């Protein structure tokens, strides 16, 4: 089997919870790049790349399209799609970063390989060790009372874990957490995510003020490059500290471990370049005995299907994962994945197991 064609198109989805903000900025519309990889045996796979907001990724959808259609895609035509290591090395030789664009190709290849063998994608990398995964739902940075109301509505749908975006003022952040805890009760797991908003001592002060409200995990409290500062936060507060923006690959995961900067690492398929590379980061975590979870980029059931296939394969996974954000997006051209009672299970069909409306996005032929 050989790859004959790689094509990428753009598609926009809309956040139905409008006014969504994080400490870095706000964005209600999200551009997705759908990728189709065809072969000489008439089997094809579909993946999705998530360029993300430019203030997070530093990249654009236009650049993704240019790279996939004119650089990365043509470079793997004629290659066996099962030769993932060789493909990954080839793509890395063409561009040092652009991991989000590479992730779209990686997902299409996993979808293709699963379809070729007639097995779910997780069977390609060891199979499932978990039947399903508890879902951690995100909530944007709204005024405290409004945020509490929105979180209560999410919990009433059956979710038992929330991640709250924070990062304005000490008073407002503490009130956000207090009101959400009062609204959802004591049993819901709460993570807070600063998205790099604080200096170390500022983060410590805020987190300590939140102690009465039982915060379980604090994500990326300081700038991504400030590993010494994040280590200080970790040593000074009760909740576990999770690295997100600080970790994009295995080398950076190793630095986090060596500096003692975090207790947990967030594995994100888009920024790490796909399932293949994300699993390498997971292996570093397992070797070091550090916890991990699967993080998200909002957008599509196709991406979250890949996330849940990855999550159920991780032997040391115990934490809830961010694999339900497709529920707040309108315009997703995909179906075949739903959350039931706060849990996600991998689709049983071959590949990623998702039905994509190829006509809707212009990839039908």
Domain 125-356: homologous superfamily in CATH: Enolase-like C-terminal domain (3.20.20.120)
Compute CA distances 209 → 117, 200, 345, whole Å: 53, 14, 36
User: Which run of H or E residues covers position 208?
Assistant: helix 200-209
DSSP reduced 3-state for 274: coil
What count of other Cβ atoms lies within 10 Å of the Cβ of residue 275?
26
pLDDT value for 17: 80
Sketch the domain layout of the chain as residue ranges. 3-119, 125-356
Task: Tell the burial category of 280 from Cβ atoms under 10 Å away from its Cβ (0-12, 13-18, 19+).
Answer: middle
Going residue by residue through the chain, which has 365 residues, state the pLDDT in tens, using 9 for 90 and above. Answer: 999 999 999 999 998 887 777 877 766 788 899 999 999 999 999 999 988 666 676 778 788 999 999 999 999 999 999 999 999 999 999 998 899 999 999 999 999 999 999 999 999 999 999 999 999 999 999 999 999 999 999 999 999 999 999 999 999 999 999 999 999 999 999 999 999 999 999 999 999 999 999 999 999 999 999 999 999 999 999 999 999 999 999 999 999 999 999 999 999 999 999 999 999 999 999 999 999 999 988 789 999 999 999 999 999 999 999 998 999 889 999 999 999 999 999 999 999 999 999 999 999 97
The Cα angle at residue 288 between residues 235 and 233, in degrees rounded to 5 = 15
Annotate 197-229 with b (16+ C-beta within 10 A) or e (fewer). bbebeebbbbbeebeebebbbbbbbbbbebbeb
pLDDT value for 125: 96
pLDDT value for 359: 96
Query: How many Å apart are CA 63 and CA 72, to the nearest integer?
Result: 12
Inter-residue contact 150 to 142 (CB < 8 Å): yes
Query: How many Å apart are CA 218 and CA 221, to the nearest integer?
Result: 7
pLDDT value for 73: 98
Domain 3-119: homologous superfamily in CATH: Enolase-like, N-terminal domain (3.30.390.10)
pLDDT value for 58: 73
What count of other Cβ atoms lies within 10 Å of the Cβ of residue 332?
24
User: Which run of H or E residues covers position 137?
Assistant: strand 137-139
Inter-residue contact 33 to 49 (CB < 8 Å): yes
| Partner residues linked to 334 by β-bridges | 356
Compute CA distances 344 → 131, 259, 280, whole Å: 9, 34, 23
pLDDT value for 134: 98
Query: How many Å apart are CA 264 and CA 261, to the nearest integer?
Result: 9
Query: How many Å apart are CA 165 and CA 123, to the nearest integer?
Result: 34
Query: How many Å apart are CA 297 and CA 300, to the nearest integer?
Result: 9
pLDDT value for 55: 61
Predicted TM-score (pTM) of this structure:
0.95
Query: How many Å apart are CA 77 and CA 6, to the nearest integer?
Result: 7
Task: Tell the burial category of 94 from Cβ atoms under 10 Å away from its Cβ (0-12, 13-18, 19+).
Answer: middle
């Amino acid at each position: 089997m050989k790859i004959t064609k790689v094509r990428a198109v753009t598609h926009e989805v809309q956040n139905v919870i409008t006014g969504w903000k994080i400490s870095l900025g706000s964005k209600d519309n999200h551009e997705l790049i759908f990728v189709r990889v065809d072969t000489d045996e008439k089997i094809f796979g579909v993946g999705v790349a998530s360029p993300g907001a430019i203030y997070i990724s530093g990249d654009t959808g236009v650049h993704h399209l240019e790279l996939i259609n004119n650089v990365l895609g043509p470079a793997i035509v004629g290659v066996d799609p099962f030769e993932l290591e060789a493909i990954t090395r080839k793509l890395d030789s063409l561009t040092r970063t652009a991991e989000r664009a590479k992730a779209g190709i990686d997902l299409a290849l996993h979808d293709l390989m699963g379809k070729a063998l007639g097995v779910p994608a997780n069977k390609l990398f060891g199979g499932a060790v978990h039947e399903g995964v508890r879902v951690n739902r995100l909530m944007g940075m709204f005024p405290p009372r409004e945020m509490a109301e929105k979180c209560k509505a999410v919990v009433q749908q059956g979710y038992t874990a929330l991640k709250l975006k924070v990062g304005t003022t000490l008073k407002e952040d503490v009130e956000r957490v207090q009101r959400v805890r009062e609204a959802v009760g004591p049993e819901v797991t709460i993570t807070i995510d600063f998205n790099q908003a604080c200096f170390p001592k500022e983060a410590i002060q805020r987190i300590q003020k939140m102690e009465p409200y039982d915060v379980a995990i604090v994500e990326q409290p300081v700038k991504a490059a400030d590993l010494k500062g994040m280590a200080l936060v970790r040593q000074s507060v009760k909740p576990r500290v999770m690295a997100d923006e600080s970790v994009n690959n295995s080398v950076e995961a190793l630095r986090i471990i060596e500096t003692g900067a975090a207790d947990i690492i967030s594995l994100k398929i888009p920024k790490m370049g796909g399932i293949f590379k994300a699993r390498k980061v997971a292996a570093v975590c397992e070797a070091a005995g550090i916890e991990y979870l699967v993080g998200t980029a909002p957008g599509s059931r196709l991406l979250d299907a890949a996330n849940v296939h990855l999550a159920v394969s991780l032997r040391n996974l115990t934490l809830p994962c961010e694999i339900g954000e497709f529920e707040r997006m309108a315009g997703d051209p995909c179906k075949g994945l739903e959350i039931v009672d706060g849990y996600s299970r991998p689709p049983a069909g071959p590949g990623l197991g998702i039905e994509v409306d190829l006509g809707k996005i212009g990839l039908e032929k």
